[in-house]
Structure formats: structure tokens, C-alpha cells
């Protein structure tokens, strides 16, 4: 049987930075409020002519370069995004593959909001273990600024743009194998996080023709409570299922939504501060890109060790959730 190994990571953030002070000139808020309630200090914003696929391509180029796997050997490209270049079609994955020069590989998008990267990881694992594919490029890429309502202080302070990518490839060495990926969803809570306009489910008269876009809406406080509960339960389950103790994890890399959520989950799991990876202060919430961007920061700081088991965990619109136990298994 083939196993799936996590070979490499890459990330990209656009140049422009939007600080809390900048936001306080746009809506009734302050650096103090945003920092206290979210931990976020700044986020990156893509240029007008810079699309989600462009962010994804730059992250993927780094991941591919570091992977030791040739471009022509990539046989599946999966993109996790809720801010695709085009709604409906073509998928952002096909655009990314084309811009990278990958021809003929299977390519599709996943819509699982902030859990998108973990869903993509589960897809890569399943395709490789079934023998259908050998080398999978997964990309979490978001231009959330394009679907953010900058008149809504409850959401616009949270989100940023960016991308992260990883190469997952087949191995017969069980030591390198992705240990487990858990994913789940509950549509009963769909209305907590939505882009209500623009799809076939939206009432025609609710469409904002002037804005011509579909903005994210969120019931922040309710989302917060469900997030802490679900994330804690999910991580406990994956650790128990695999007989791994939380103290044996060097890096817990949760989705970066809010510092208070990350800390609450870390405390509930009795994690030491040095185990919990936090990047939310400089990127905000980048949804499907946040986990690979955080892994990339670890990698570039030199803290990510070959063979260490990363614990990933996410929660997002849908509602969706997921967790994963992933050994870092670079080829070079």
C-alpha cells in the first residue's frame, strides 16, 4: 500500500499591509479593541489586479522548488478557497495549474472555508493511498479582501489575503506517512458564517447590485463559542484515536482566526505556550491559507524539524472542522 507523505511547504503574502490604525479610519473601531478581542495587529491585502490564483501560484512555486518533485510529475492539484478567481467556473485550481505549467493533471477546488486546507490534505491522502495519484499539490489561497464588507466593523477587522501550498507524495515508508486526518461538517449552523448573496440560494431582491459582490457575514459571538467547543473536541479525538499525547507534539498549528480562540483551545488541551503556533497578529484570518502560511513561517524560521509530527486543527464556515497528524517528511 502507498502512504502519503508531506514533503514541502511554501507561502506568499501580498505586499500591502492594512494596520488596525488604517481600519480605524474606515470604520468605528480602534487598535486597542481589535488587539484585545482578536490579537490581530495587521493583515496583508492583494493588489486590485492580483487574483487568488496569483497568490496561490507564488506559494506553490516555493513549495514545488522545495519538494524535489518535478513539475511534470504532479498529477493532482487541489485548491482550498472561498474567494475563487471566478465563482462557479473555471476552478481556481485549473488556473493555478495552468499558470504553473502543469498540463493534464486533475484539478479542482474545495469549499470548506477555514477548514479547506485540512479537507485538501484528506483528499490528497485518499487519492495517494488508493493508488489513483502519486504527487499532489495542495494550495490554500484567499483574496478575502474581495469578499469583505469594509463598512462592517464586525468582520472587516478580521480578514486578510495570502496563500500557502504543500506537496504531498506517495511513499512506501510508513514512518513518513500522514498519520490521520479527521474532517466533519454540520450544515445546521450554516447561517453563522455565510456569503448570502450571489448564489442560487439567495433571494433575488437581496442581491446588492451596486456592490456587485457577495460579502461575508458572520455571527461572531456564536461562532466563537462553537469554535472553541468543536476544536477542543476534535483535537482530543484525533490524539486519542492515535495514542498520541498532547505533550509529545512539538507544534500545534491551529487555524488562525482569533488569538482568544487559539489560547482557549490551547489551554483546554493543556498545551504549553511554546507548542502553540500563532501568526494571527501579522496576517489576520486568511481562511484556507492560514494553516499552510503558519507552517511556512515555522519552516522558514528553522523550527520545523524533519520527522516531527505536526498537529493541525481548523474550523470554518459550513460549519466545517478538521484536524490532522502530519509528520514533516522532506525529500531534501
Catalytic residues, which ones? Answer: 114, 255, 285
d(Cα 60, Cα 12) in Å, to the nearest integer? Answer: 9
Does 33 help bind ligand ACO (rule: CB under 6 A)?
A: yes
Q: Which of 153, 233, 236, 250 binds ligand ACO (CB under 6 A)?
A: 153
Nearer to ligand ACO, 193 or 214 (CB): 193
Report strand pairing: 135-143 vs 161-171.
antiparallel
Q: Which of 230, 287, 290, 323 binds ligand ACO (CB under 6 A)?
A: 287
Does 52 help bind ligand ACO (rule: CB under 6 A)?
A: no
- Mark out the alpha helices in the chain (DSSP H runs): 20-24, 31-38, 52-67, 92-100, 116-129, 153-156, 220-241, 259-268, 280-283, 290-301
Nearer to ligand ACO, 87 or 103 (CB): 87
Nearer to ligand ACO, 64 or 157 (CB): 157
Instruction: Give the dihedral of Cα atoms 60, 61, 67, 72; nearest 10 deg.
Output: 100
Q: Which of 220, 237, 244, 268 binds ligand ACO (CB under 6 A)?
A: 220
46's grid cell: 492583494
The residue range among 6-14, 218-226, 270-278, 289-297 that interacts with ligand ACO, by the rule CB under 6 A, is: 218-226
By CB under 6 A, the count of residues binding ligand ACO is 23
Preceding peptide of 319 cis, ω within 30°: yes
Q: Which of 94, 223, 256, 323 binds ligand ACO (CB under 6 A)?
A: 223
What DSSP assignment string belongs to 223-238? HHHHHHHHHHHHHHHH
Nearer to ligand ACO, 114 or 118 (CB): 114
State whether residue 263 is helix, strand or coil: helix
d(Cα 169, Cα 47) in Å, to the nearest integer? Answer: 33
Does 120 help bind ligand ACO (rule: CB under 6 A)?
A: no
Nearer to ligand ACO, 221 or 301 (CB): 221
At its nearest, how many Å lie between ligand ACO and the CB of residue 45? 16
Ranges within 167-196 binding ligand ACO (CB under 6 A) = 193
Per the listing, cell 510508513 goes with 174
Q: Is 82 exposed, middle or buried (0-12, 13-18, 19+ CB in 10 A)?
A: buried
At its nearest, how many Å lie between ligand ACO and the CB of residue 179? 25
**Phi/psi of residue 203, each to 5°?**
-65, 135
* Binding positions for ligand ACO, rule: CB under 6 A: 29, 33-34, 37-38, 113-114, 153-154, 157, 193, 220-221, 223-224, 227, 257-258, 261, 285, 287, 316-317
Amino acid at each position: 500500500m502507498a502512504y502519503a507523505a508531506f514533503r514541502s511547504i511554501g507561502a506568499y503574502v501580498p505586499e500591502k499591509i492594512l494596520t488596525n490604525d488604517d481600519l480605524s479610519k474606515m470604520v468605528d473601531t480602534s487598535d486597542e479593541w481589535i488587539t484585545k478581542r482578536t490579537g490581530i495587529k495587521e493583515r496583508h491585502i492583494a493588489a486590485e489586479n492580483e487574483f487568488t490564483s496569483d497568490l496561490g501560484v507564488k506559494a506553490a512555486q516555493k513549495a514545488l522548488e522545495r519538494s524535489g518533485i518535478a513539475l511534470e510529475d504532479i498529477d493532482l492539484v487541489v485548491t482550498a478557497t472561498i474567494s475563487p478567481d471566478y465563482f462557479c467556473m473555471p476552478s481556481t485550481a485549473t488556473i493555478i495549474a495552468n499558470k504553473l505549467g502543469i498540463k493534464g493533471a486533475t484539478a479542482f477546488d474545495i469549499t470548506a472555508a477555514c477548514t479547506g486546507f485540512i479537507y485538501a490534505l484528506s483528499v490528497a491522502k485518499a487519492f495517494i493511498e488508493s493508488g489513483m495519484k502519486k504527487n499532489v499539490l495542495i494550495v490554500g489561497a484567499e483574496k478575502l479582501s474581495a469578499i469583505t464588507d469594509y463598512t462592517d466593523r464586525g468582520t472587516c477587522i478580521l480578514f486578510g489575503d495570502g496563500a500557502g501550498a504543500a506537496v504531498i507524495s506517495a511513499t512506501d515508508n510508513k514512518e513518513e506517512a500522514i498519520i490521520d486526518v479527521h474532517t466533519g461538517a454540520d450544515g445546521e449552523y450554516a447561517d453563522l458564517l455565510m456569503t448570502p448573496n450571489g448564489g442560487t440560494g439567495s433571494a433575488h431582491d437581496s442581491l446588492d447590485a451596486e456592490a456587485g459582490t457577495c460579502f461575508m457575514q458572520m455571527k461572531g459571538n456564536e461562532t466563537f463559542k462553537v469554535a472553541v467547543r468543536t476544536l477542543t473536541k476534535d483535537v482530543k479525538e484525533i490524539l486519542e484515536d492515535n495514542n498520541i499525547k498532547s505533550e509529545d507534539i512539538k507544534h500545534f498549528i491551529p487555524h488562525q482566526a482569533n488569538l482568544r480562540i487559539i489560547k482557549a483551545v490551547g489551554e483546554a488541551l493543556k498545551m504549553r505556550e511554546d507548542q502553540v503556533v500563532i501568526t494571527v497578529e501579522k496576517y489576520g484570518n486568511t481562511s484556507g491559507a492560514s494553516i499552510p502560511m503558519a507552517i511556512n513561517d515555522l519552516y522558514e524560521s528553522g523550527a520545523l524539524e524533519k520527522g516531527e509530527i505536526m498537529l493541525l486543527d481548523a474550523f470554518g464556515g459550513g460549519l466545517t472542522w478538521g484536524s490532522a497528524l502530519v509528520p514533516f517528511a522532506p525529500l531534501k
